Amino acid sequence: MNRELLKLLQKALRGELNRTRRRKTGSPWIVGGLTAAVVAISYALHQPKAPPSATAKGAELICAVGGVFDGDTFVANCPEGEVKVRVFGIDAPEMKQEPWGDRSREALRGLLSQRDPVRLRVMDRDQYGRTVAQVFAGERDAGLDMVRQGRATVYAQYNDSPIYRQAQTEAKQARRGIWAKPGAQQDPANWRRLNPR
């Protein structure tokens, strides 16, 4: 819903609330409902919007690495503000997939130094509001390195890059990381389906 529509709705609700109060015949439920609606709309209007440059597809940002949550998600401190980043094109084991989740997170921490800036190439936003970005530490593609190390899989639903697929094939053949032995860690998406939160 755009801001102009929210403002019109807020104005209309305030007018109806005032008319209901003047009539003295309004149900307390109506008055309470209208008051709650006005408060909710006011809250929505005053929420800070994510910086457009941090979410615009194709934008390139230079940021410092904040915390690393898992093998494919971290916080970046950018000039535009704090951005929660989902690394493009990979799917890492969940933290509850022991010990694979911890190993994957440590691998990403090793690639993304908190001392050196990273470059983000914004690809999209995901369903959780995270900025999906290809992440470069120096000239290295961190997502591709995670796949090469066997610490993440190619997220085939969103990434059809032959370079990533080749890296995964090589990691499988060399039995690196999650490919060292068979198990649920090799398909994080399937593990999530079988283990809902």
User: 86, 103, 105, 148: which is the annotated catalytic residue?
Assistant: 86
3-state secondary structure of 1: coil
Query: What single DSSP character describes residue 184?
Result: G
57: exposed, middle or buried (Cβ count in 10 Å: 0-12, 13-18, 19+): exposed
pTM exceeds 0.85 for this model: no
- Cα 14 from chain centroid? 36
Q: What is the mean pLDDT of residues 55-66?
A: 86
- The tokens describing 154, both together, are 């190619």
Q: How confident is the model at residue 171 (pLDDT cuts 50, 70, 90)?
A: very high
Q: 120 and 135 in contact (C-beta within 8 Å)? A: yes
**Residue 50 has which token pair?**
């994510």
Question: Could you say which of 105, 130, 148, 151 is catalytic?
Answer: 130
Interval 71-103: pLDDT, tens: 899 999 998 899 999 999 999 998 888 888 889
| Chain position carrying tokens 């992440």 | 135
Q: How many CB atoms lie within 10 A of CB 185?
A: 25
DSSP string, 28-76: HHHHHHHHHHHHHHHHHHTSPPPPHHHHSTT-EEEEEEEEEEETTEEEE
| H helices present in 112-151, as ranges | 142-148
**Mean pLDDT in residue range 51-67:** 78
Tell me the pLDDT tens digit for each residue of 113-151: 878 899 999 999 988 889 999 999 989 999 999 999 999
3-state DSSP assignment of residue 115: coil
Question: Is 130 among the residues known to form the active site?
Answer: yes
Please name which of 81, 87, 77, 78 lies closest in space to residue 147, comparing C-alpha atoms: 87
Helix (H) or strand (E) holding 140: strand 140-141
Of 3, 14, 16, 94, the active-site residue reads 94
Residue 48 banded pLDDT, cuts 50, 70, 90 = very low
- The answer to whether residue 4 is catalytic is no
User: For position 41, what pLDDT does the model report?
Assistant: 67
CA proximity to 89, closest of 158, 135, 162: 158
In the annotation, is 94 catalytic?
yes
What's residue 95's pLDDT?
85
Greater pLDDT, 115 or 191: 115
